[in-house]
Structure 1
Amino acid sequence: MLSQLEAYRQEIATYPITNAQQLEEYRIKYLGTKGLVKGLFGEMKNVPGDKRKEFGQVLNDFKQFAEEKYNTAKETTVSSEAATVSQIDLSLPGNPTQFGTRHPINTVRKRIIDIFNRLGFAVADGPEIEDDWHNFTALNLPENHPARDMQDTFYIHQNPDWLLRTHTSNVQIREMEKGQLPIRVICPGRVYRNETISARAHCFFHQVEGLYIDEHVSFADLKQTLYFFVQELFGKDVKVRFRPSYFPFTEPSAEMDVSCFICGGKGCRVCKHTGWVEILGCGMVHPKVLENCGIDSEKYTGYAFGMGIERITMLLYGINDLRLFSENDIRFLRQFQGAV
């Protein structure tokens, strides 16, 4: 045992300690709760009784030797690190801070909300997981309507049907069910549709829908509201056209197009080579929808509209691929640092 202790002394004496990591490794190996010194004291039980006092003295000397090595190395290491810190030139400029920015979708969403806030529209929100009534039935969508097909809608549960909302019109229904008239709200949010991902479509996107219900609301009110909106968003020179269309929840219905800013009206894959881009659908709220929500359709009328934020953002920033918004490519997002 004595010869083994001498070998341990030689090992400790030559153990290299030049930094804090090696110092901690030394402490754990020799002085820790499971270290060498602790283990040697555990061997006392195997020493004959008449030799324990002598062996105990030898172990105490060995322990002091190991501790002295540790304390000396600790002072040297601390002094060396302090000297390194003192050599830092505090007059040097710091590392530049990387600033984040708002996502272009959020920037445009805020601009749209601000414009409609100036027209007196409040912001309403609702659930993204919705039941059949608020997403389809109350909106005058019959049971055999294509939108109800699983090829177009993400169903979470059936019988009863629960699904990822396909539009933010569910928020309009919930607002009408409250019965607090008149209603003037916009409903921004994320929606989901089972579509093939391409430059023009995605399985999820963002919408802003609007609803205004009061006495004597007409289609002329709708057109003037939307004219004001696109001029504030795209500028006074924007070209606009309305096309008759069909939606189960509005009658009459129309789709609104603006001139394509990406190609200047010459034709590109975003505008399908027509020079026009549809930005929203609109119309007068169908009387049946009003009745479904407990509103007297003989007394009240209203208009509704809905638009995709991605498509408007593509027009504003000249982006030709909708997939860029959700790929998290930092090279793409850095282009919008001025939009903070």
Structure 2
Amino acid sequence: MSGPNDNYDPKQVAALSPEVIDGYVADALSAIEAAGSSEELKQARLAHNGDRSPLALANREIGALPPAARKEVGQRVGQARSQVARAIAARQEVLADQELAKALVEERIDMTLPVQVVPQGAVHPVTAIIDKMVDVFVALGYEVAEGPELEAEWYNFDALNLPSDHPARGEQDTLWIEPIEDAKLLRTQTSPVQAREMLTRDLPLYIVSPGKVYRSDEYDATHLPVFHQLEGLVIDKGISMADLRGTLDHFAKAMFGDVATRMRPHYFPFTEPSAEVDLECFVCHGESVGNPDRPCRTCRSEGWIEWGGCGVVNPRVLRACGIDPDEYSGFAFGMGIERTVMFRNGAPDIRDFVEGDIRFSRSLLGGAR
């Protein structure tokens, strides 16, 4: 049986002597202290405490030593590597504080300097005015009602007392959906919502219905094939034309300020009696009428501007929707939303509403009263 091998190479042991290890540590500490940035410290760590550093290579040599020398040399190398690691951590903390302080000084933001603000969007004028119009009626106790834009012919025409030979049913006004036999169309007004509500809601009924409508109209400065309307409907006991007049006066003042209204006799199949609602010109207040020295482009010197239509609900419409006209009566009104915006803000061309120019939206919202 052979005994332990106590013989080993003195040169190999000399390479791991305290003097050599201390020299490795001294070189490492010097490089660490000289590092002036985190990047330089990283290079020093790789050179003196990385996998190919002198101390790492010395640590690998321990396994080749005889057992009698391993413990002492292992402790020596381990303590040296720990000392270098602590020095790296301490230096990293110092450098981090220095770099943070430098960044706070050099990268601070001067709040007094002019900046280029990223342009923000704007609410479309139609959306904004719908909210204002609806708020007026919600404050009066009305409810908001909506309906489909693809509508059945019965709701759009028959229920509203428009006979089969009425011109509005023709292709010159109505956009029909094929096949024609299905009697489907893009609604020409928001009045079908009123018919739907009368058929489904309990009485009394106080609603407003804003929405998009479609007509086979030319695209020009005063017409759009797709535009917006707001219609109102009241069905209750004892409702008269006087209630309608008071409601519209209140609505007009809420939209345009202290402005007068008037009603001119007109014909609508779904109301009887019916009227057109005019606004006193809020630019000249009638002073341009008969006065060539003070012409008014807004009202064309007529003193009044047409706003919408209204009237007492026709008894035939009430019967078609299952309401007894001997017990209930009501009124309805409607006006174009784009036209309301144009009146309030002086927009000259209705096509601007669909061109998508945000400058148009900002100019109207900024000038809204």
Give the fraction of aligned pairs with identical amino acids, expressed as a percent: 48
| 1:223 has 2:245 as partner | yes
Identify the residue that residue 139 of structure 2 maps to in structure 1: 118
Structure 1 stretches lacking a partner, 5+ long: 1-85
Distance 1:102 1:228 in 2: 26
Distance 2:106 2:163 in 1: 74
Among 166, 169, 173, the residue aligned to 1:152: 173
Identify the residue that residue 307 of structure 1 maps to in structure 2: 335
Once the two structures are TM-superposed, the CA of residue 174 in structure 1 deviates from its matched residue by 0.3
Identify the residue that residue 323 of structure 2 maps to in structure 1: 295
Identify the residue that residue 347 of structure 2 maps to in structure 1: 319
Identify the residue that residue 91 of structure 1 maps to in structure 2: 109
Structure 1 residues 59-88: Cα deviation after superposition (integer angstroms, max 9, x where no partner): xxxxxxxxxxxxxxxxxxxxxxxxxxx898
Identify the residue that residue 209 of structure 2 maps to in structure 1: 187
> Does the residue aligned with 1:258 lie in a helix, a strand or coil?
strand
Structure 2 CA distance for partners of 1:321 and 1:260, relative to 1, 3 Å: farther
Structure 2 stretches lacking a partner, 5+ long: 1-102, 289-294
Among 138, 162, 175, the residue aligned to 2:184: 162
| 1:285 has 2:306 as partner | no
Identify the residue that residue 106 of structure 1 maps to in structure 2: 127
Once the two structures are TM-superposed, the CA of residue 259 in structure 1 deviates from its matched residue by 2.2
Distance 1:283 1:277 in 2: 18
Q: Are the aligned partners of 1:101 and 1:339 in contact in 2 as well (CA < 8 Å)?
A: no
Structure 1 residues 302-339: Cα deviation after superposition (integer angstroms, max 9, x where no partner): 10000101111111111121111111123322324548
Identify the residue that residue 174 of structure 1 maps to in structure 2: 196
Once the two structures are TM-superposed, the CA of residue 146 in structure 1 deviates from its matched residue by 0.7
Identify the residue that residue 202 of structure 1 maps to in structure 2: 224
> Does the residue aligned with 1:211 lie in a helix, a strand or coil?
strand
Identify the residue that residue 260 of structure 2 maps to in structure 1: 239
Distance 2:158 2:303 in 1: 36
Identify the residue that residue 62 of structure 2 maps to in structure 1: none
Q: Are the aligned partners of 1:255 and 1:282 in contact in 2 as well (CA < 8 Å)?
A: yes
Distance 1:146 1:253 in 2: 18
Once the two structures are TM-superposed, the CA of residue 198 in structure 1 deviates from its matched residue by 2.2
Distance 2:222 2:333 in 1: 20
Paired letter, 2:322:
G
Identify the residue that residue 274 of structure 2 maps to in structure 1: 253
Q: Which has the higher contact order (CA 8 A, sep 6+)?
A: 1
Identify the residue that residue 332 of structure 1 maps to in structure 2: 360
Structure 2 CA distance for partners of 1:247 and 1:178, relative to 1, 3 Å: same
Q: Are the aligned partners of 1:260 and 1:315 in contact in 2 as well (CA < 8 Å)?
A: no
Distance 2:138 2:263 in 1: 24
Q: Are the aligned partners of 1:182 and 1:214 in contact in 2 as well (CA < 8 Å)?
A: yes
Q: Are the aligned partners of 2:345 and 2:367 in contact in 1 as well (CA < 8 Å)?
A: no
> Does the residue aligned with 2:202 lie in a helix, a strand or coil?
coil
Distance 1:166 1:320 in 2: 24
Identify the residue that residue 79 of structure 1 maps to in structure 2: none
Once the two structures are TM-superposed, the CA of residue 89 in structure 1 deviates from its matched residue by 3.9
> Does the residue aligned with 2:117 lie in a helix, a strand or coil?
coil
Structure 2 CA distance for partners of 1:147 and 1:269, relative to 1, 3 Å: farther
Once the two structures are TM-superposed, the CA of residue 105 in structure 1 deviates from its matched residue by 1.2
Paired letter, 1:121:
Y
Structure 2 CA distance for partners of 1:264 and 1:199, relative to 1, 3 Å: farther
Structure 1 residues 248-288: Cα deviation after superposition (integer angstroms, max 9, x where no partner): 00000011100233565546666455332111100010001
Aligned-residue CA RMSD (Å): 2.2
> Does the residue aligned with 1:241 lie in a helix, a strand or coil?
strand
Structure 2 CA distance for partners of 1:194 and 1:313, relative to 1, 3 Å: same
Paired letter, 2:129:
V
Paired letter, 1:208:
L
Q: Are the aligned partners of 2:241 and 2:311 in contact in 1 as well (CA < 8 Å)?
A: yes
Structure 2 CA distance for partners of 1:152 and 1:268, relative to 1, 3 Å: farther
**TM-score (normalizing by structure 1):** 0.70
Paired letter, 1:241:
R
- In terms of mean alpha carbon deviation, does 324-333 or 223-232 score higher? 324-333
Structure 1 residues 32-73: Cα deviation after superposition (integer angstroms, max 9, x where no partner): xxxxxxxxxxxxxxxxxxxxxxxxxxxxxxxxxxxxxxxxxx
Distance 2:214 2:283 in 1: 26
Structure 1 residues 165-202: Cα deviation after superposition (integer angstroms, max 9, x where no partner): 00000100000011411100000001011111222211
**TM-score (normalizing by structure 2):** 0.65
Identify the residue that residue 91 of structure 2 maps to in structure 1: none
Identify the residue that residue 141 of structure 1 maps to in structure 2: 162
Paired letter, 1:307:
M
Q: Whose Rg is larger?
A: 2
Q: Are the aligned partners of 1:164 and 1:191 in contact in 2 as well (CA < 8 Å)?
A: yes
